[in-house]
Amino acid sequence: MTAPFRNLIAGEWTAASDTSPNVNPSNLSDVVGDYARGSAADVDAAVAAAKAAFPAWSRSVPYARHEILKKAAAEVFARKEELGRLLAREEGKTLPEGIGEVTRAGQILEFFAAETIRLAGETLPSVRPGVGVEVTREPLGVIGMITPWNFPIAIPAWKIAPALAYGNCVVIKPAELVPGSAWALVDILHRAGLPAGVLNLVMGKGSVVGQRLLEHPDVTAITFTGSVGTGRRVAKAAIDCDPMKKVQLEMGGKNPLVVLDDADLAVAVETAVNGAFFSTGQRCTASSRVIVTEGIHDRFVEAVTARLSGLVVDDALKAGTHIGPVVDQGQLDQDMRYVEIGRAEGAKLAFGGERLNRETEGFYLQPALFTECTNDMRISREEIFGPVASVIRVKDYDEALAVANDTPFGLSAGICTTSLKYASHFKRNSEAGMVMVNLPTAGVDFHVPFGGRKGSSYGPREQGSYAREFFTIVKTAYTLA
């Protein structure tokens, strides 16, 4: 028996009326733990606690917030192996990927610890004689957070850390599939010295806990990462609320990686394989469309296929595993359905796409590489969110750029080339929020803005000092001296 993990409400670990099991996708007989499944009433209690904590927390000395975030960062770093193992066990990332994500969460906490004492305003002369103008930033109030399953600790960290750093209170609802890493992060922050009610955790279903957060009039702002469909619902609910909520959405991607004839073949192959298939392709920044000019196309496909056949798909915790399992049955069904859709659309399955059996029962899928794809096929337009990529053959750079930008999304885009001319042109003309040259579309730094354009994102950027745009509100004060 595993002890039920409780919600954190008003500084107390609070039992919910129901729990749900957190199951290891590498081994379905392994239950990571039973986690609370909260109710709308739990959300109401958490929001009330956050609202009550806000006046004191928002006026606390920034250095006190600095010390709490720094202490939490130190514990995350000290426990990165253990927390990386928990993450790999509940989500299916490989152990090195899990440890890498935990390290990133620690770096984010450390970064925002420093930001607490760096938040600056402006003073300007007025256009009126004797009057001065000050522009300052203030916290918003209670921030509701709804996070997805694919980065179970990094995404909660990159929302919680700036919210707290700038003096906001938080109610977070992590994805029901992977609550363990978020629970551990909240536990660390709580023990680092946060006053009761400043950070509340309500685990449970999106349709219950998430929905109540969206409707609650005392939630000032909502930051969401997840699918486009849910994101649209979140935005509508935030606007229908009285008062309306500030909203930030990070959603899907169908990220292009362009490979030009002049690319270094080895770099292009590693970039494509890493970007498309590592973390089981379950990244919103994954390179799911690989757009290749005809001079290098056949050599590239041959080399990628050879590289894929050498990758080990197995238990996320086993040494030597390159690609862990798909996160759950629903996602596996979706991936397999898209493999069938690709075949039916006339794309050629050049590698993989088969369900795999391993020592333990889990959601193992061979990475699937489609070639002879066109950009109007469903497999090239819709986000699959699994280890499935389309290779699209094009004539030249101009066609590659046009195909890269022909998508409803705009999160990340990459190019492999040795030409400064094409790299510079692509950086300027790509319609994506993030552009990579000779680097995978996935894999970003923690101290610079993260976000996209078109259907991928809505509202201000996350991460780095740009996070203040969402997590603070500007005040303009006039004084007659």
**Helices and strands (H and E) in the chain: how many:** 15, 23
From 73-81, 168-176, 389-397, 400-408, span contacting ligand ADP (CB under 6 A): 168-176
In angstroms, what is the minimal distance from the CB of 145 to ligand ADP?
9
251 HSE (CA, 13 A, CB side) = 24
Say how many C-beta atoms besides its own lie within 10 A of residue 299's C-beta: 14
Q: Rounded to 5 degrees, what angle do the CA atoms 205, 45, 241 make?
A: 70
Among 60, 136, 227, 360, binds ligand ADP (CB under 6 A): 227
* Nearest residue (CB) to ligand ADP, 365 versus 415: 365
Among 92, 167, 179, 210, binds ligand ADP (CB under 6 A): 210
Which residue among 250, 270, 383, 462 is the active-site one? Answer: 250
* Nearest residue (CB) to ligand ADP, 149 versus 183: 149
Q: Provide the H-helix boundaries in 39-153.
A: 40-58, 62-78, 80-91, 95-115
318 binds ligand ADP (CB under 6 A): no
Q: Strand (E) positions, 178-250?
A: 199-201, 221-225, 246-250
178 binds ligand ADP (CB under 6 A): no
Residue type (1 letter), 345: E
Q: How far apart are the first and last CA of the chain?
A: 68
146 binds ligand ADP (CB under 6 A): yes
In angstroms, what is the minimal distance from the CB of 226 to ligand ADP?
3
445 HSE (CA, 13 A, CB side) = 10
Is the omega angle on the peptide bond into residue 179 within 30 degrees of 0, that is, cis?
Answer: no
* Nearest residue (CB) to ligand ADP, 80 versus 93: 93
Q: For residue 236, what are the contacts with CB-CB under 8 A and spacing of at least 6?
A: none
In angstroms, what is the minimal distance from the CB of 155 to ligand ADP?
10
From 21-29, 37-45, 60-68, 173-181, span contacting ligand ADP (CB under 6 A): 173-181
Among 72, 175, 188, 247, binds ligand ADP (CB under 6 A): 175
From 33-41, 106-114, 206-214, 253-261, span contacting ligand ADP (CB under 6 A): 206-214
In degrees and rounded to multiples of 5, residue 330 shows phi and psi of -60, -45
Among 3, 29, 207, 480, binds ligand ADP (CB under 6 A): 207
* Nearest residue (CB) to ligand ADP, 101 versus 270: 101
In angstroms, what is the minimal distance from the CB of 152 to ligand ADP?
11
* Nearest residue (CB) to ligand ADP, 150 versus 472: 150
DSSP annotation of 313 reads B
Which residue, among 134, 114, 137, 136, has the nearest Cα to 125 in the 3D structure? 134
Size, binding site for ligand ADP by CB under 6 A: 16
110 binds ligand ADP (CB under 6 A): no
DSSP-assigned states of every residue in 398-427: HHHHHHHH-SS--SEEEEE-S-HHHHHHHH
Q: For residue 388, what are the contacts with CB-CB under 8 A and spacing of at least 6?
A: 281, 288, 335, 338, 339, 342, 353, 367, 368, 370, 379
35 binds ligand ADP (CB under 6 A): no
Among 116, 211, 255, 274, binds ligand ADP (CB under 6 A): 211
In angstroms, what is the minimal distance from the CB of 37 to ligand ADP?
11
3-state class (DSSP) for residue 63 = helix
91 carries an active-site annotation: no
Token match 């250095």: residue?
63
From 110-118, 132-140, 202-210, 452-460, span contacting ligand ADP (CB under 6 A): 202-210
From 87-95, 144-152, 317-325, 402-410, span contacting ligand ADP (CB under 6 A): 144-152
User: Is 244 in contact with 277 (CB distance < 8 Å)?
Assistant: no
Among 38, 84, 92, 148, binds ligand ADP (CB under 6 A): 148
Residues 303, 309, 313, 319, CA torsion sign = negative
Tokens found for residue 356? 């795999």
Residue type (1 letter), 88: A
Q: For residue 158, what are the contacts with CB-CB under 8 A and spacing of at least 6?
A: 105, 108, 446, 450, 462, 463, 467
* Nearest residue (CB) to ligand ADP, 147 versus 463: 147
149 binds ligand ADP (CB under 6 A): yes
Among 147, 223, 293, 430, binds ligand ADP (CB under 6 A): 147
Token match 């363990």: residue?
180
In angstroms, what is the minimal distance from the CB of 158 to ligand ADP?
15
Binding mask 236-275 for ligand ADP (x = CB under 6 A): ----------------------------------------
From 172-180, 272-280, 316-324, 453-461, span contacting ligand ADP (CB under 6 A): 172-180
In whole angstroms, how large is the CA radius of gyration of the chain? 23
Among 38, 152, 180, 206, binds ligand ADP (CB under 6 A): 206
From 142-150, 257-265, 351-359, 462-470, span contacting ligand ADP (CB under 6 A): 142-150
Tokens found for residue 478? 């006039």
- Interface residue list for ligand ADP (CB under 6 A): 146-149, 173, 175-176, 206-207, 210-211, 214, 226-227, 230, 233
The residues assigned a catalytic role are: 250
